[in-house]
Amino acid sequence: MPAQTGPNGRLTDLLKDARTGRVLVMGILNVTPDSFSDGGLHFDATAAVEGAVRMAAEGAHILDVGGESTRPGAQQPTEAEELRRVVPVVRAVAEATGTPISVDTRRASVAEAALDAGAAMVNDVSGLCHDPAMLPLVARAGCPVCIMHMRGEPADMQRATGYSDVVADVRAWLLSRAMAAEAAGVAPERIILDPGFGFAKTPEQNLALVRRLREIADLGYPVLMGASRKSTLGLLLGGSPPEERLEGTAAVSAISIANGASLIRVHDVRFMARVAAVAQAVATR
């Protein structure tokens, strides 16, 4: 497909708008049996397509398809299993909606197969560090990429929460990864940064990143916040389970937008698109 038509062109236009104040909503489509909130919900292609069509109608600008749960303690599926989960769903969702698809993976082989199947963007929670082939792939593909901060592996990341200043440390790391991406040939306008809420962070560190998100947004790249339904919110809401953390997600999303976030990655698209519309209007952007 030519670069500037279809979902690829639409995503380029959306990211241009995001740099001038529009907030984009990324709907989460986990094709996993074990995701912390929606595990098993979209595990077959038919259910995933239904979920995708619904989220697109509810206002998702991007659909994020992932085949690996990265919740604390999760084990990585085999490459064959991740490909088996992700590729048919990307193909089916691309056929069913015109909404740009992002593939949430740390593996270059999965990213490449998903791009071939119709995805327009790569979302790598390892910040292009897990797989040495990922950075060259993204540069070659010329697609947008979300670089997220984490440490270690999902299985052990909650033992890696020692920072001197979590916001300064995450900011410096994200900048170094963005510089590495640019040096490898990724255009700056295709780079999105994400502080990685819930990834190798204590609850207090997650909150500090939201409170001081402006320091990361000031780097000049669009910033994504992915706090949807995460356990820090459950803690603040008296132990509520994931599906009862809507208000917490709304609060963090609105404050993140006020502090410079350009994208929010959420499960509850209809509700959060409305939160984003109001927060975007209030924020001086």
Q: How far is the C-alpha of 117 from the C-alpha of 58, rounded, in Å? A: 24
Residue 63 pairs in a beta bridge with 27, 101
Q: How far is the CB of 92 from ligand HH2 (least distance, A)?
A: 19
Q: How far is the C-alpha of 258 from the C-alpha of 176, rounded, in Å? A: 25
Question: Are the C-beta atoms of residues 18 and 257 closer than 8 Å to each other?
Answer: no
Alpha helices in 97-202 (DSSP H): 108-117, 134-141, 166-183
Q: How far is the CB of 198 from ligand HH2 (least distance, A)?
A: 6
Q: How far is the CB of 225 from ligand HH2 (least distance, A)?
A: 7
Q: Choosing from 151, 229, 230, 245, which is the catalytic residue? A: 230
Q: Of 8, 12, 105, 123, which one interacts with ligand HH2 (CB under 6 A)? A: 123
State yes or no: residue 264 binds ligand HH2 (CB under 6 A).
no
DSSP assignment of 103-121 equals EE-S-HHHHHHHHHHT--E
Residue 72's φ and ψ, nearest 5 degrees, are: -50, 130
Residue 41 pairs in a beta bridge with none
State yes or no: residue 130 binds ligand HH2 (CB under 6 A).
no
State yes or no: residue 146 binds ligand HH2 (CB under 6 A).
yes
State yes or no: residue 226 binds ligand HH2 (CB under 6 A).
yes
Cα 30–Cα 184–Cα 115 angle in degrees, nearest 5: 35
Q: How far is the C-alpha of 109 from the C-alpha of 209, rounded, in Å? A: 31
Q: Choosing from 91, 106, 107, 265, which is the catalytic residue? A: 265
Q: Of 43, 194, 264, 272, which one interacts with ligand HH2 (CB under 6 A)? A: 194
Determine the interface stretch with ligand HH2 among 90-98, 165-173, 193-201, 253-261 (rule: CB under 6 A): 193-201
Catalytic-residue membership of 230: yes
Catalytic-residue membership of 16: no
Determine the interface stretch with ligand HH2 among 15-23, 66-74, 172-180, 246-254 (rule: CB under 6 A): 66-74
List active site positions.
Answer: 230, 265
For ligand HH2, the binding residues (CB under 6 A) are 28, 30, 32, 35-37, 66, 69-71, 104, 123, 125, 146, 148, 194, 196-197, 224, 226, 265
